[in-house]
Amino acid sequence: MAEETKVTALDDVVIRFSGDSGDGMQLTGTIFSNVSAILGNEISTFPDYPAEIRAPQGTLSGVSGFQVHLGAGKVFTPGDKADVLVAMNPAALKVNVKNIRPNAVVIIDTDCFQKADLEKALFETEDPFKELGLMGVQVVASPISSMVKSGLESFGLNNKSALRCKNMFALGLVCWLFDRPLEQAMHMLQNKFAKKPGIAEANIKVLNDGYNYGHNTHSTVSTYRIESTKPAKGFYTDINGNKATAYGLIAAAEKSGLQLFLGSYPITPATDILHELAARKELGVKTVQAEDEIAGICTAIGASFAGSLAVTTTSGPGLALKGEAMGLAVIAELPLVIVNVQRGGPSTGLPTKSEQTDLMQALYGRNGESPLVVIAASTPTDCFDAAFWAGKLAVEHMTPVILLTDAFIANGSSAWRIPEMDSYPAIKPNYVANYKESAPWKAYRRDKESLVRYWVAPGTEGLAHRIGGLEKNCETSAICTDPENHQKMTHIRQAKIDNIANHIPALEVIGDQDAELLIVGWGGTYGHLLEASNEVRKNGKKIAFAHFKFISPLPKNSEAVLKSFKKVMVVEQNSGQFANYLRGKIENFDPCQFNRVKGQPFVVARLVEEFTNLLEA
Amino acid sequence: MTTQELKYIPKDYKSDQSVRWCPGCGDHAVLNCLHKAMAEVGVAPHQTAVISGIGCSSRLPYYMNTYGFHTIHGRGAAIATGVKTARPDLSVWLITGDGDCLAIGGNHFIHAVRRNIDLNIVLFNNEIYGLTKGQYSPTSERGYVSKSSPYGTVEDPFIPAELALGARGNFFARSIDVDLKNTTEILATAAKHEGASVVEVLVNCVIFNDGTHKQITDKANRAERTIFLRHGEKMLFGENNEKGLVLDGLKLKAVTLNQDGYTLDNILTHDAHTPENTMHLLLAMMGGELPVALGVIREVKAAVYDQEVAKQIATVQANNPIRKLQDFLMSGEIWEIK
């Protein structure tokens, strides 16, 4: 956990607009730079014109580009390599292959990537990305030309004039992706085309269409990265949190000798986990795209009953719909992993933005007393370990486990040292073979220490049994409404979860153990909090940092750690849900809080200021 | 003729729990038929999973000596879908009622049917909510007076067959609780059918909706008011099979043999196996002037979801030797730091 890392935030990014010299890339880049400057970004730009003024259209020599580097702090250069490339045609892609990062976002107009276009740019195959070896880039492919034409149908422009506006569609899309309001861009277009109000209007219409397209399709790109500053030896790949989650689940299935089953319904920003697992058929993963969120979890519960490592993936609104079924998994004591990629709420809220506002829902959002395990991943690569843990605890303790990630770490990427799977522990389901008592086995007989019941999958001869959502007698496993039995079962279900504290790592303190101030975080804010506390230490002040990955149950040493510092500040992207949870769990504990609910990541400089103020107070 | 030795007897499928349905409830009969049908089909009890939602009929898994899961209201179809997709080797039954299946679980029901997953769905239709003590259900007729509709309902009911066929169902059968022989036979046929099979059993709720199916289930009326369909046989009914069905334009018509010039040759022959579902729908929708159709109305072979899921994995694996996550990760775009 204490690995030295560096967060690259959304507001330090290099964007390169590239297209044919007639595509208006210079204007696009200029408007975007100005809009960003007005928003307070430091900018540095680099126009890159072709040598020939009128090179043949669509050819390599006709490519015109404009690079802009935006940053929150000082920006001294236009940036080496682009994080985002807008490539209006195949030639623009080819020319820029050396100017972009291996994991860059590439926005293309699919209408201009047809066979003839590819030939003009001297491509030999129909897959330009593969041909250029760009396998790691995130492609945002949209039929920009056709959308521009249909958007301008009522304007009475000819085809050629209409298509001249397509750069504004790309600009609108980029403005959506980087949260740039359109007002300033519209104003600039009005000034530029002051003498041709029809053209101004058409450009503004297309600009808005591009923005709305991004909004409607929940387009997101992530330029949020966490990099290790001292990488260990080994093989690396680039990975985002959603993929790491998918692989962690596959790893847990492998280590437990179980088939991985996913039941899921598409929802931003969790859908990429479904995409990845649906593609991993060579590894034997079964996926069902269910008819709704409820069916997503219910198919998973069915698969769990049938003996699989079962998973459902969702985001906040979906988690709300899954509540009743989670309760079924709690009372039926079946293993199940529920991945919740948190986004802005309530309701549909901010589907593409990130928050930590589902903590209380994860902990308590069910009818009755229905305790379960809650884990939160801290970085894109940690999603692998967190998902592995989720699978391990679910099958070893016969319980649903909610894994909380968020839009940032889910879409955010990082270089990931590919782990040696041999170094991961075996996962041992509590099969009925472990049952050693003389009394005949019953479905709700359980291990005396861990309180885990024994798992019997259908197909096992002689052990056919019935389970369900009605309360069961703790001895006979038959339906039971006896008050004492219900009290006992309620207690057992909680004690079973509490006992898991004996099987998870202790809470670590990073930084100065003798500091007065302890910063506490959980989940996807790890990178920002670590960097901010490191900054404070660099400034010569003592500070400690503890980050929770296990939330229910809490690590055993939580109280001891939290009470050994004079001041504790709980920092989270909600209004204080974890702080309140800790207050309820730990007697006489009342931490300070720093809370932001903006759908945006923390700004490290702001955190440094806050921590310093508290130290000096 | 050799006597085939049965591997299992009905008792093998019966659990030790005492059955708690009200005396006289139609569910008892269906439970007995199910035990018999399972024994006849011969899938071992431990290879059988019975899934249910919530409602009177959904208590049924507790009375089976098979694997069983009594789940939550309306979601049985989704849970059964997970069981069967994960474990195509199991024989999976879904026990559901008119409220569970067609109100709160309507979405899961139509999608299970659409996917054609190999579930044996037994829909106990008593046209009432019994467990909550007598509210109208989605199959109660318009105007039905109940505790939640004291002045009569102002909505039309679903006809389960119409919904199942509308969801592109490939197997639909209808039976009545009092006809044990045919119910058993129909359940066995449904079990043998690969794909989603829907069996609607018209059951009596002796407490809250007594006699709702009386008009067709009473022995005195049954021959006149129902027709039992068998694939390849003439559509005949009546005490002495003296009546039959013919097509009159785009409608079915009941006629009497040797009257108005109708002979046996004019009577329609039941083709349950034709993929075209228009005639099945016409038959399933009969009532009023026409006899209510019982038996297997539609039984069509089609691609089965759980088999297709398994097949896709096998096909991908045949072309890709990677089986371990480690090998998969190392086969991607990687770089080394030494």
The average confidence (pLDDT) of chain B is 96
Contact across the interface for B329 and A136, Cβ inside 8 Å: no
pLDDT at A515: 97
pLDDT in tens, A308-334: 999 999 999 999 999 999 999 999 999
Nearest CB to B71; choose among A284, A306, A328:
A328
Model confidence at A227: pLDDT above 80: no
Q: Bin A179: left if φ > 0, else alpha if -120 < ψ < 50, else beta.
A: left
The average confidence (pLDDT) of chain A is 91
Residues 6+ apart with CB under 8 A from B205: B25, B26, B56, B126, B127, B128, B130, B212
pLDDT at A147: 95
Contact across the interface for B108 and A295, Cβ inside 8 Å: yes
The Cα of B33 is separated from the nearest Cα of chain A by a number of Å equal to 20
pLDDT at A279: 98
Question: Is B20 in the A-facing interface, judged by CB distances under 8 Å?
Answer: no
pLDDT in tens, A588-600: 999 999 999 998 8
pLDDT at A77: 64
Whether residue A326 contacts residue A315, with contact meaning beta carbons closer than 8 Å, is answered with no
Domain assignment present for residue A433? The answer is no
Looking at beta carbons, which residues of chain B come within 8 Å of A295? 75, 78, 81, 107-108, 111
Model confidence at A204: pLDDT above 80: yes
| Portion 253-272 of B in contact with A at CB < 8 A | none
Please tell me whether residues A270 and A210 are part of one structural domain: no
Q: A2 falls in which pLDDT band (50, 70, 90)?
A: very low
Counting one residue from chain A and one from chain B, the pairs whose CB atoms sit within 8 A come to: 197
Model confidence at A95: pLDDT above 80: yes
Please tell me whether residues A277 and A403 are part of one structural domain: yes
Whether residue B295 contacts residue B183, with contact meaning beta carbons closer than 8 Å, is answered with no
Q: B2 falls in which pLDDT band (50, 70, 90)?
A: very low
Q: Please name which of A549, A550, A524, A536 lies closest in space to residue A602, comparing C-alpha atoms.
A: A524
Model confidence at B57: pLDDT above 70: yes
pTM greater than 0.90: no
pLDDT in tens, B159-188: 999 999 999 999 999 999 999 999 999 999
Return the percentage of chain A with pLDDT > 70, whole number: 94
Mutation target to probe the B interface, by most B beta carbons within 10 A, among A260, A277, A282, A479 is A282
Cα dihedral value A119, A124, A129, A131, nearest 10:
-150
Separation of alpha carbons A229 and A7, rounded Å: 10
pLDDT in tens, A401-424: 999 999 989 988 788 999 999 999
Q: A54 falls in which pLDDT band (50, 70, 90)?
A: low
Sole residue written with tokens 């530029």: A192
Contact across the interface for A310 and B82, Cβ inside 8 Å: yes
Please tell me whether residues A419 and A355 are part of one structural domain: yes
Please tell me whether residues A195 and A269 are part of one structural domain: no
pLDDT in tens, A492-512: 999 999 999 999 999 999 999
pLDDT in tens, B205-239: 999 999 999 999 999 999 999 999 999 999 999 99
pLDDT at A70: 80
The Cα of A316 is separated from the nearest Cα of chain B by a number of Å equal to 21
B300-332 in b/e form (b: 16+ CB < 10 A) is beeebbbbebeeebeeeeeeeeeeebeebbeee
Domain tally, chain A: 3
Contact across the interface for A298 and B82, Cβ inside 8 Å: yes
* Eight-state DSSP code of residue B323: -
Model confidence at A374: pLDDT above 60: yes
For A591, the domain range is 510-616
pLDDT at B110: 98
Arithmetic mean of pLDDT, B281-293: 97
- Token pair, residue B137, equals 């259900």
Whether residue A324 contacts residue A386, with contact meaning beta carbons closer than 8 Å, is answered with no
Which carries the bigger pLDDT value, residue A13 or residue B306? B306
Nearest CB to B323; choose among A237, A282, A324:
A282
Domain assignment present for residue A481? The answer is no
Domain assignment present for residue A380? The answer is yes
Q: What would the CATH number be for the domain defined by B10-217?
A: 3.40.50.970
Question: Is B61 in the A-facing interface, judged by CB distances under 8 Å?
Answer: yes
Interhelix angle for A382-397 vs A241-256, to 10°? Answer: 40
Sole residue written with tokens 């492609």: A139
Other Cβ atoms within 10 Å of B116 Cβ, number:
24
End position of a domain, from candidates A382, A404, A423: A423
End position of a domain, from candidates A401, A423, A445: A423
Question: Is B311 in the A-facing interface, judged by CB distances under 8 Å?
Answer: no
Strands A63-71 and A13-20, sheet pairing: antiparallel
pLDDT at A69: 80
Looking at beta carbons, which residues of chain B come within 8 Å of A328? 71-72
Task: Tell me the C-alpha to C-alpha distance, in Å, between residue B215 and each of B123, B176, B243, B281.
Answer: 20, 12, 18, 22
Question: Is A279 in the B-facing interface, judged by CB distances under 8 Å?
Answer: no
Domain assignment present for residue A390? The answer is yes
Mutation target to probe the B interface, by most B beta carbons within 10 A, among A259, A305, A470 is A305
Please tell me whether residues A152 and A258 are part of one structural domain: no
Question: Is A481 in the B-facing interface, judged by CB distances under 8 Å?
Answer: no
Q: B8 falls in which pLDDT band (50, 70, 90)?
A: very high
pLDDT in tens, A136-195: 888 889 999 999 999 999 998 898 889 999 999 999 999 988 888 899 899 989 998 999
Domain assignment present for residue A120? The answer is yes
Helix (H) or strand (E) holding B296: strand B292-299
Domain assignment present for residue A199? The answer is yes
pLDDT at A30: 85
B72-109 in b/e form (b: 16+ CB < 10 A) is bbbbbbbbbbbbbbbbbebbbbbbbbbbbbbbbbbbbb
Model confidence at B23: pLDDT above 60: yes
Q: Where are the domains of chain B?
A: 10-217
Domain assignment present for residue A9? The answer is yes
At A311, which CATH number? Answer: 3.40.50.970
pLDDT at B255: 98
Please tell me whether residues A139 and A242 are part of one structural domain: no
Model confidence at B250: pLDDT above 60: yes
Please tell me whether residues A245 and A190 are part of one structural domain: no
Contact across the interface for A298 and B312, Cβ inside 8 Å: no
| Portion 216-245 of A in contact with B at CB < 8 A | 231-238
Model confidence at A228: pLDDT above 70: no
End position of a domain, from candidates A396, A423, A450: A423
* Eight-state DSSP code of residue B7: S
Domain assignment present for residue A175? The answer is yes
The ipTM assigned to this model is 0.97
pLDDT at B1: 41
Q: What is the tally of helices (H) and strands (E) in chain B?
A: 11, 14
The Cα of B68 is separated from the nearest Cα of chain A by a number of Å equal to 4
